[in-house]
């Protein structure tokens, strides 16, 4: 298994990983707000690719036997006027996606990908990393906590 930078030849496998994650989020969503529309596969991929292009991002892939078994997407956050008034505005990287194929989980691939993205963010002089986790995704939350991340912000919701 090796960690490589994104190559277009793996485009369809990346799209399949995005769909696999969204299917999982739909399954664990106790409010039934997550959906998987037919146009998701292509549109969501294009949105992620645009964010990478516009925000000095990187995509790293975990490749095993010419198959992609995991990926991570990260970008450098831009600061807005509110940020400039409320915090120190240290350069911050954001992990947008970290997905490991179901059958490849538990083998340390997620940790390898996260470490690779952390190295990239350090090279870009980032001082912090942010990762948004869907509340019901307890496994992801535990993974990040075990990787040294701590809860810094909460978004609370209430059904009406």
Gap between the Cα atoms of 96 and 114, Å rounded? 11
- Residue burial 90-126, b: 16+ Cβ < 10 Å; e: rest: eebbbbbbbbbbeebeeeebbebbbebbbebbeeeeb
CATH number where 74 lies: 3.40.630.30
pLDDT at 153: 84
pLDDT tens, 49-83? Answer: 999 999 999 999 999 999 999 999 999 998 776 76
Nearest to 46 by CA among 95, 96, 11: 11
Residue 150 lies in a domain: no
Residue 9 lies in a domain: yes
Nearest to 135 by CA among 34, 33, 29: 29
pLDDT tens, 15-30? Answer: 999 999 999 999 999 9
Vertex 136 angle, CA 135 and 141, to 5°: 65
Q: Is the pLDDT of residue 90 over 80?
A: no
Containing domain of residue 19, as a range?
2-145
Residue 158 lies in a domain: no
Residue 157 lies in a domain: no
Residue 46 lies in a domain: yes
Residue 106 lies in a domain: yes
Alpha helix positions (H), 30-80: 40-54
Residue 159 lies in a domain: no
Q: Is the pLDDT of residue 89 over 70?
A: no
Our count of domains for the chain comes to 1
pLDDT tens, 101-156? Answer: 999 999 999 999 999 999 999 999 999 999 999 999 999 999 999 999 999 888 88
pLDDT at 155: 85
Residue 123 lies in a domain: yes
Percent of the chain, pLDDT > 90? 86
Output the CA–CA distances (angstroms, integers) from residue 7 to 2, 14, 52, 59, 156, in the order listed. Answer: 14, 10, 13, 9, 38
> Strands 128-131, 92-100: parallel, antiparallel or unpaired by DSSP?
parallel
């Amino acid at each position: 298994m090796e960690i490589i930078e994104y190559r277009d030849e793996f485009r369809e496998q990346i799209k399949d990983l995005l769909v696999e994650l969204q299917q999982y989020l739909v399954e664990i969503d106790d409010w039934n707000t997550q959906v998987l529309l037919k146009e998701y596969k292509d549109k969501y991929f294009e949105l992620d690719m645009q964010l990478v292009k516009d925000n000095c991002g990187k995509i790293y892939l975990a490749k095993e036997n010419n198959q992609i078994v995991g990926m991570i997407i990260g970008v450098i956050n831009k600061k807005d006027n509110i940020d400039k008034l409320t915090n120190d505005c240290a350069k911050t990287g954001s992990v947008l996606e970290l997905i490991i194929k179901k059958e490849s989980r538990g083998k340390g691939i997620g940790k390898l990908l996260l470490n690779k993205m952390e190295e990239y963010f350090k090279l870009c002089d980032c001082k912090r990393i942010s990762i948004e986790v869907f509340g019901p995704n307890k496994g992801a939350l535990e993974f990040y906590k075990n990787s040294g991340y701590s809860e810094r912000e909460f978004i609370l919701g209430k059904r009406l």
